[in-house]
A and B are shown apart, each in its own frame.
Chain A
Amino acid sequence: MDKLLEINGLTKRFGPISAVDNISFSVSRGEVLGFLGPNGAGKSTTMKMATGYLSPTNGKVSVCGYDVLHSPLEIKRRLGYLPEGAPLYGDMTPNSLLNFVCDIRQLNKEKRKTGYEHVVESLQLERVLHQPIETLSKGYKRRVGLAQAIIHDPEVLILDEPTDGLDPNQKHEVRQLLDRMSHSKAIVISTHILEEVDAVCSRAIIISQGKIVADQKPSMLERSSRFHNAVGIRIEAENSERCISLIESIPDVLTVEIVRNDDELVEIIVFPSNKTDILGSISNSIDEGGLKVLEMYVERGRLEEVFRELTVGGFEVGNA
């Protein structure tokens, strides 16, 4: 695997605050890295340093083998970047802005044409091409920002909250777009939408207070959730007490939590000890007891809860 983006010991201090504190990771071609962390964790600052917009206090960034301090131009040529909030020249129209970017990036006629048509089509910009950017809605501004980041088909893409402010259809479109592009590029996206990590990322890094607290496949992260392999069950209220006591007597069951309880329906979550697979034994004992359940499902684990644990507590999972 060729590592297109390498970050080593990156640190940024703003006066007394360490915004980014000794972060190292690399991204290979074909990877989509999800960059997660609470507000103020240092995601945007890391991205700004990776693009060369900010100089690090310490540490090294290289893109396609070029060092950001020594060959900033080489890096910027190979990089597509969507800054946080997608700040662009408001008085320009998307059309003139995209042409400006093509000029600066010296795209030849053919690349320019395919690039332009591709972004206009995949981000559905046709309707607003000739309207000043400052008068566009937030989502459209973001799409124009994305368009300028990918128009030159860069090898490394760094996108700061690319789907922020997009409607559900557009979120879906953008995720598909990222998916299509991912095999030939190294992509880093930051996001607060955890389902997005599941949907598009092949790897996730969680940072908290400038430090990496997890660096794993999303499915592995889910596994560290206490919900991993837990079984959710919905039963009719009249049967619930018997059912619960039946389940509690299964050896591998650690606890049973009631998450919903009204007149007709009870929903419980059964936690296994050591996150073992208990679906089989639960359905067996339910069958044996002659009980009927309305619904039964296995949890994969909840990223949201892992995220909270990692960034609120001081708890750390092993790195991949």
Chain B
Amino acid sequence: MRNTWIICSRELTSYFISPVAYVFIVIFLALAGGLTFFFGKWLDRGQADLQVFFIYHPYLYLFLIPAVGMRLWAEERKSGSMEFLMTLPISTSQAVIGKFLAAWIFVGIALSLTFPIWLTVNFLGNPDNGVIVTAYVGSWLMAGGFLALSSSVSALTKNQVIAFVLAAVICFIFLMSGVELVQAFFRAWAPPRFVEAIAELSFLTNFGDLSQGVIDVRDILFFLSVIAGALFVNILIVEIKKSS
């Protein structure tokens, strides 16, 4: 636990030393804002809620989160610092979880910097702030799911571009697995039970309720188990790669 935290805080500090963090935050805020105002026509709707703000989050994350996650292990492998890190007296799981947590907290910080839009909606009307808090938490959980998937993909390669593309594809599959297009693809060859199971894995479906303020424990558990499962795979990949 102690080591996980030390690694996490080291990583977190290094995010804010580099300009990458600020670039990411600015792009995230610009896109989140832009989508809400221009595509969502938030102000024109005349409703005091953040529905159109959260509705774009899955798509925003689809390429922004792999951009955060791609470097987690690929960069470490490429620069060789992994050899330094992994010969310190820490376990693989401490390293994997520590690095993931740092990235997740970083995304959380970026997400929380969208607070002006929350203030604005409170200025303009009387929103249900409970709904908004639930949606924020749901969005952060979903980001965690994408991030854990990206992190484990990143452990596969030392090439960040490959890590990014692969992660984006895998995130896309998880995001869209409930959508008719993807379902049709699986229905063509897979047994119906499998197709149903795939649909259950959809980030879109699971985020849907949360983003509307409906607290369903199953949705929360879903994201937490995606995170846990992906990090478990991440640890395995790092371990297996030792003997390659």
Contacts and interface: CB of A to CB of B under 8 A. Distances in A.
Interface in B4-36: 6-7, 10, 13-14, 17-18
A90 B79 contact: yes
A30 to B, nearest CB: 24
Contacts, number: 66
A76 B88 contact: yes
B71 to A, nearest CB: 12
B87 A52 contact: yes
B23 to A, nearest CB: 15
Contact of B6 (A54, A85, A104): A104
Interface SS majority for chain A: loop
B1 to A, nearest CB: 13
B89 A76 contact: yes
A71 B14 CA distance: 30
B87 A79 contact: yes
Q: What size tier do the contact residues of chain A reach?
A: 20 to 34
Interface in B224-244: 242-243
A53 B83 contact: yes
Given A54-B242, A91-B14, A83 B87 contact: yes
A148 B85 CA distance: 11
A105 B89 contact: yes
A106 B94 CA distance: 15
Interface residues of B, number: 23
B83 A57 contact: no
Contacts of A35: none
B103 to A, nearest CB: 15
Interface string A42-79: 00000010011111110000000000000011001101
A72 B91 CA distance: 8
A87 interface: yes
A106 B88 CA distance: 11
Nearest to A79: B87
Interface string B126-156: 0000000000000000000000000000000
A297 interface: no
A54 B243 contact: yes
Interface SS majority for chain B: helix
B18 A48 contact: no
A171 B88 CA distance: 26
Contact of A53 (B6, B79, B90, B242): B242
Contact of B80 (A55, A83, A101, A148): A83
A76 B90 CA distance: 8
Contacts of A55: 242-243
A140 interface: no
Interface string B67-80: 00000000000011
A116 interface: no
20 contacts: A51-B87, A53-B83, A53-B86, A57-B243, A72-B91, A73-B90, A76-B87, A76-B89, A79-B87, A83-B87, A87-B82, A91-B18, A92-B10, A101-B88, A103-B6, A104-B6, A104-B7, A104-B88, A104-B90, A106-B2
Interface of B: 2-3, 6-7, 10, 13-14, 17-18, 79-84, 86-91, 242-243
Given A76-B87, A89-B14, 5 more contacts: A72-B91, A76-B88, A87-B82, A87-B83, A100-B10
Interface of A: 48, 51-57, 72-73, 76-77, 79, 81, 83, 85, 87-92, 96, 100-101, 103-106, 132, 145, 148
Which 8 interchain pairs have the tightest Cβ spacing?
A: A87-B80, A55-B243, A76-B89, A83-B83, A77-B89, A55-B242, A51-B87, A81-B87
